[in-house]
């Protein structure tokens, strides 16, 4: 097995200020070598970061940023050397070694600072366009950096070796070409893995069984799925396809093992089949991938299901959930069942989550940063969970409605009828959900990067962050109110609505009152209890007195 390759930051080459043509030529070649080594190190660091758990990527990101700064320094130095070469009256392009074509798309196209899908981080170096150099007879092109690893380990850091300008593609060049193809394959695999994970994550978010997990349990569940996609933590078994029992489990449509998460697995399997039909699973055996995903989804091995579980619904004979729509009468039955089965009180369930969410809220109010998914998720589920998420700022309330990957959902549809089957386009009469639900993401890539998908983690309180600042936020990571509106679809009548089909203005108004007044009391008994589920959209729509005109 070849030794594991790790990213390093090559030392900048040192040489006296060049004066002659030969000195300029040597300095240019040495500087180009250094930039190539930096690009190779950056490619390794990016690949290493994609294999690291999201809550442990801060150090990897710092390394990538440091390498990017060194690349900028190298390009600036190279530009100065080329201008110096032109100033001595050479009249020809600076010498270049035969470069191996490098078409590898940067992983930063798909993994940014917080791994939000979208455009590259502008702080990272991008290949420059061809430009004219004064005094030269032709244009000098900045060749796309070759992330070949041949320079690493062969010359060592900071090596100042030179190479003949007329060197042709020799054995080392063939190795460069081979490694360049490997880098291209790695980038393609990383893109496929991330796209597959984001689709599965959306299925998890919509799954009724997974909604019974706490924020910590959901984090562990998603991390386990991500690792099963990115890492081959098991040795592939060539005989797995010949095991009829295992094939029956992986390919069948009956929950023969009565496992939790079976319905979700069936949906995930359809996604995997779609990727195979598109030819995007050439790097992995479909059966091996399904086995790893099955273990992650069925048994949830990386965390104790009982530890992260808030509530499990009744299961059918085959371990599958009933899929009836939840209406008001069913809500009352569920509340009665909770009291009968001794479900823990909400204040107890969310006590351990409050500090992180409180810190995230204060940071958002004072420092205008985004809020992790876990805190937003709990704020939509529990009325008594930090009222500021619905009352402190319209920006924060709108951000709380962002589920993940640019999809939005109101607090009611977070808890009931997640697929929004009850809407005006599918039911007779007025349902309170005026628009058809959609899964189309309307936010631009820049907006997705500004409000990224961040799994719940320990959130510290930033300096100068307080609960009640004198002035609220004007943006979220630079995203203004009008830009934040682009997360929400626009109807033909010009109104904004959520992906669940609810009118945005109505949902925000109801969310405000649901968070501001989470308790109800009895005058005759003198008792008080939580209000519970949000009012259904039909009742919400009927409360016209609470809606501003328009």
What is the residue-wise DSSP string for 255-290?
A: -TT--TTHHHHHHHHHHHHHHHHTT--TTS-HHHHH
Q: Looking at the structure, tell me whether residues 35 and 145 fall in a common domain.
A: yes
Instruction: Please state, in angstroms and as integers, the Cα–Cα distance from residue 276 to each residue in 1, 72, 200, 286, following that order.
Output: 29, 40, 15, 8
pLDDT of residue 71: 85
User: 495 Cβ partners below 8 Å, 6+ apart?
Assistant: 503, 504, 505
State the residue range of the domain holding 266: 207-308
Please give the C-alpha separations between residue 342 and each of 21, 212, 337, 339, 528, in angstroms, as whole numbers: 85, 16, 8, 5, 19
Q: Is residue 214 part of a domain?
A: yes
Same domain membership, residue 148 and residue 27: yes
294, two tokens: 């099955």
**Helix 215-230 × helix 171-206 angle, to 10°:** 150
Cα-flanking dihedrals φ and ψ of residue 102, to 5°?
-130, 105
Q: What is the pLDDT of residue 135?
A: 43
* CA–CA dist 263, 268 (Å, integer): 9
Comparing CA positions, the residue from 456, 538, 535, 451 lying closest to residue 488 is 451
Query: Phi, psi at residue 534, to the nearest 5°?
Result: -60, 160
In a domain, 334, yes or no: no
The verdict on residue 38 lying in a domain is yes
Residue 201 domain flag: no
Residue 316 neighbours by CB under 8 Å, 6+ apart:
322
Q: Which residues contact 331 (CB under 8 A, 6 or more apart)?
A: 416, 532, 533
Cα separation, 417 vs 266, in Å, equals: 20
Give the dihedral sign, CA 77/78/81/82.
Answer: negative
Please check whether residues 181 and 64 belong to one and the same domain: yes
For residue 180, the model assigns a pLDDT of 67
CB 515 within 8 A of CB 509: no
DSSP 8-state symbol, 5: P
Largest CA distance in the chain: 98
C-beta separation of 426 from 214 below 8 A: no
Tokens of 246: 């295992």
Please list the helix, strand and coil fractions of the chain in percent, rounded to the nearest 5, in that order: 45, 5, 50
Answer yes or no: do 176 and 224 share one domain: no
What are the distances in angstroms from CA 415 to CA 155, 352, 385, 428, 465? 59, 21, 14, 23, 31
CA distance linking residue 450 with residue 255, whole number of Å:
41
Same domain, 358 and 489: yes
Neighbours of 100 (CB within 10 A): 20
Is this model's pTM higher than 0.85 or not?
Answer: no
- Interacting residues of 403 by C-beta distance below 8 A, sequence separation 6+: 205, 373, 376, 377, 409, 414, 499
Structural domain includes residue 431 = yes
- Give yes or no: residues 258 and 366 share one domain: no
Same domain as 300, residue 381: no
Joined together, the tokens standing for residue 439 give: 């899964």
Same domain for 238 and 363, yes or no, is no
Mark which of 249, 276, 308 sits at the end of a domain.
Answer: 308
Q: In the block, which residue shows the tokens 């009956």?
A: 254
273/366 same-domain check: no
CB 453 within 8 A of CB 116: yes
CB 176 within 8 A of CB 148: yes
Q: How many structural domains comprise the chain? A: 3
Task: Find out whether 211 and 31 touch, Cβ atoms under 8 Å.
Answer: no
Let me know whether 151 and 213 are in one domain.
no
Q: CB–CB of 72/54 below 8 Å?
A: no
Helix or strand (DSSP H, E) at 507: helix 504-516
Q: Are residues 145 and 265 in the same domain?
A: no
> What does the pLDDT read at residue 177?
64
Q: Where are the alpha helices (DSSP H) in 351-420?
A: 354-367, 373-381, 388-391, 394-400, 411-415
- Whether 143 and 232 map to the same domain: the answer is no
Last residue of some domain: 276, 308, 340? 308
What would the two tokens of residue 313 be?
A: 């619904």
Query: In this structure, is residue 280 part of a structural domain?
Result: yes
**Which residue has tokens 């007879």?**
137
Q: Is residue 94 part of a domain?
A: yes
Angle at 489 between CA 483 and CA 491, to 5 degrees: 120
Q: Is residue 250 part of a domain?
A: yes
Q: What is the pLDDT along the chain (550 residues), one digit of tens a residue?
A: 444 455 678 888 888 888 888 888 888 888 888 888 887 787 777 777 766 776 677 777 788 878 888 888 888 888 888 888 777 754 444 444 443 333 333 333 333 333 333 333 333 333 333 334 344 444 444 444 444 333 333 434 444 444 444 444 455 666 666 666 666 666 777 778 877 887 888 788 777 777 777 766 777 787 788 888 876 544 445 555 556 666 777 888 887 777 778 888 888 999 888 888 877 887 778 888 888 888 888 754 333 333 333 333 333 333 333 333 333 333 444 444 445 444 444 344 445 567 888 999 999 999 999 998 888 988 998 888 889 999 999 999 999 999 888 899 999 998 888 778 888 888 878 888 999 999 889 999 889 888 887 765 578 888 888 888 988 899 999 999 999 999 999 999 999 999 999 999 999 999 999 999 999 889 898 888 888 889 899 888 877 545 554 4
523 token code pair: 């005058």
Q: Are 415 and 477 in contact (CB under 8 A)?
A: no
- C-alpha 249: how far from chain center: 30
């Amino acid at each position: 097995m070849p030794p594991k390759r790790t990213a390093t930051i090559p030392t900048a080459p040192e040489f006296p200020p060049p004066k002659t043509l030969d000195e300029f030529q040597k300095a240019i070649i040495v500087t180009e070598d250094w930039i190539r080594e930096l690009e190779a190190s950056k490619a390794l660091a990016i690949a290493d970061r994609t294999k690291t758990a999201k809550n442990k990527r801060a150090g990897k990101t710092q390394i990538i940023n440091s390498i990017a700064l060194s690349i900028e320094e190298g390009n600036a130095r190279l530009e100065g050397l080329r201008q110096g070469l032109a100033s001595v009256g050479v009249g020809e392009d600076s010498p270049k070694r035969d470069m191996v074509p490098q078409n590898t798309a940067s992983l930063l196209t798909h993994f940014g600072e917080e791994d939000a899908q979208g455009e590259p981080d502008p702080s990272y170096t991008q290949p420059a366009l061809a430009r004219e150099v004064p005094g030269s007879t032709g244009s000098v092109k900045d060749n796309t950096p070759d992330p070949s690893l041949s320079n690493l380990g062969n010359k060592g850091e900071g090596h100042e070796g030179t190479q003949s300008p007329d060197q042709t593609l020799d054995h080392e060049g063939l190795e460069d070409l081979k490694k360049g193809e490997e880098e291209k394959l790695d980038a393609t695999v990383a893109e496929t893995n991330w796209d597959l994970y984001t689709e599965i994550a959306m299925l998890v978010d919509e799954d009724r069984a997974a909604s019974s997990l706490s924020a910590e349990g959901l984090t562990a569940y998603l991390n386990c799925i991500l690792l099963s996609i990115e890492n081959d933590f098991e040795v592939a078994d060539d005989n797995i396809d010949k095991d009829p029992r295992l094939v029956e489990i992986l390919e069948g449509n009956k929950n023969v093992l009565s496992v939790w998460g079976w319905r979700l697995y069936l949906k995930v399997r359809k996604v995997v089949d779609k990727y195979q039909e598109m030819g995007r699973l050439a790097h992995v055996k479909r059966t091996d991938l399904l086995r790893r995903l099955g273990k992650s989804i069925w048994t949830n091995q990386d965390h104790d299901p009982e530890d992260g579980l808030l509530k499990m619904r009744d299961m059918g004979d085959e371990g599958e959930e009933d899929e009836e729509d939840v209406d008001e009468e069913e809500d009352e039955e569920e509340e009665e069942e909770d009291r009968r089965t001794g479900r823990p009180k909400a204040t107890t369930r969310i006590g351990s989550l409050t500090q992180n969410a409180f810190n995230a809220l204060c940071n958002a109010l004072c420092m205008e940063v985004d809020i992790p998914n876990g805190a937003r998720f709990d704020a939509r589920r529990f009325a008594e969970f930090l009222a500021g998420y619905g009352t402190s700022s319209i920006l924060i309330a709108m951000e709380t409605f962002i589920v993940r990957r640019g999809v939005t959902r109101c607090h009611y549809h977070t808890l009931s009828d997640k697929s929004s089957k009850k809407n005006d386009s599918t039911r007779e009469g007025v349902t309170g959900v005026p628009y058809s639900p959609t899964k189309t993401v309307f936010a631009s890539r820049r907006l997705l990067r500004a409000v990224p998908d961040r799994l719940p983690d320990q959130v510290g309180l930033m300096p100068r962050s307080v609960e009640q600042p004198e002035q609220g936020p004007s943006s979220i990571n630079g995203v203004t109110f009008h830009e934040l509106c682009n997360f929400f679809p626009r109807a033909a009548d010009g109104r904004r609505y959520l992906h669940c089909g609810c009118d945005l203005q109505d949902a925000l108004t109801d969310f405000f009152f649901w968070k501001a007044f989470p308790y109800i009391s009895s005058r005759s008994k003198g008792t008080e209890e939580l209000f519970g589920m949000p009012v259904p959209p039909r009742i919400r729509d009927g409360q016209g007195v609470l809606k501003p005109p328009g």
